[in-house]
Amino acid sequence: MKLTIFRTNAGNQDCSPLSGRAIALPLLFCGALFFALFAHPSQANENKLLIGERAVVPGIDIPVQMPIELNFRSKADILELRKRYVELTPNLVAAPYQPSEAVFGAIEDGKPWWGLRGQGVWGPGPKSSEGPAEESRFIVNPFLLAGANPAVVEIWDEDKVTEEDLQHADFPLCWEPTFIKWWPQQSLMQVEYPVTKFNQDLNSWRAKLKTDKIIPAFGVAAYNAVDFNLNYIYVDTAKSIHIENINKPHEEAVKIAQYIHCGGTCQVPGGCNNMSPEMKALDRIKYTALPARAWVSLWRDKPSNVNVKPDMVVYIDLK
């Protein structure tokens, strides 16, 4: 098994505590801020990952799928799309796979979705659904069990950003993974995000940002884990490298409450599909230097304490 090893003497980066408006704006994470407007569905599912003793392959590289537009598609179409992306990697889940009702059951037909351009530049209103759907980052990458939602909501000055700007390949909207790797026998997954490059791109466009301060904050989106019956989560900062939890939650595993529904935060009549709700244990993580690694432990059932061996571990690597 070959894993990326980080040097712990990496240069420090300005990661002082956030305050004032700097908290209000950047801590609205790429989809992690949206409040639940109705009860979270609780239907169980029977999806089983082929990990540990069930593993049929020792290791596998999973191609990263780029975000796509989902606006106005039917729920059935989106669920079928989800199945197709799961089937691209058949050695990680036992057949038959069925998208979890708890995670995807509240998607509504024919609605817009919060877009990456909408949430980064335009904010709530008629342009909120512009660009690929932010949740498509996880829908089309089903084996990204826990991924990063960086603090990039409305960081751009909409009066300065043009449509031509948005066409540039280096216009930074959101972190995109470099790779996703699995070691099923070890019940381990690794995802890497090129954060240093993203920050360099932000700096090159700083004249069009609302603030030139780089915000080292992100949330963890983990509803893909729930889809495969990994229902409890703990971001283990003691085992992580250069990672802190701003909210300092209790040191216990929490049930992953995240799911997709149609809510009104986009301020479009009829609402937009997006993720809810906020989770204190997951939504206020920050890196204190780069490279960094967030150690995320996942369990099917709630462990008695966080030292119980996880059913799956995810490394979220920030380079």
Domain limits, the chain: 21-318
Region of residue 238 (phi > 0: left; psi between -120 and 50: alpha; otherwise: beta): alpha
Q: Does residue 287 surpass a pLDDT of 50? A: yes
Q: Give percent above pLDDT 70 in the chain.
A: 86
Predicted pLDDT at 15:
30
The Cα–Cα gap between 58 and 130 comes to 40
Instruction: Tell which residue, 292, 273, 276, has the closest CA to residue 217.
Output: 292
Predicted pLDDT at 2:
36
| Higher-confidence position of 22 and 235 | 235
The Cα–Cα gap between 180 and 177 comes to 7
DSSP per residue, 134-152:
TTHHHHS-TT--SEEEES-
pTM: 0.87
DSSP per residue, 233-278:
EEE-TTTSBSEEETT---SS-EE---EEEEESTT--TT-EEEEE--
Q: Does residue 16 surpass a pLDDT of 70? A: no
What b/e string do you get for 85-114 counting C-beta neighbours within 10 Å, with b at 16 or more?
Answer: ebeebeebbeeebebbbbbbbbbeeebbbb
What b/e string do you get for 31-68 counting C-beta neighbours within 10 Å, with b at 16 or more?
Answer: bbbbebeeebeeeebebebbbeeebeeeeeebebbebe
User: Mean pLDDT across the chain, nearest whole number?
Assistant: 88
Instruction: Tell which residue, 210, 252, 238, 231, has the closest CA to residue 312.
Output: 231
Question: What would the pLDDT profile of 50-64 be if each residue is shown by its tens digit?
Answer: 999 999 999 999 999
Q: What average pLDDT does the segment 127-149 reach?
A: 98
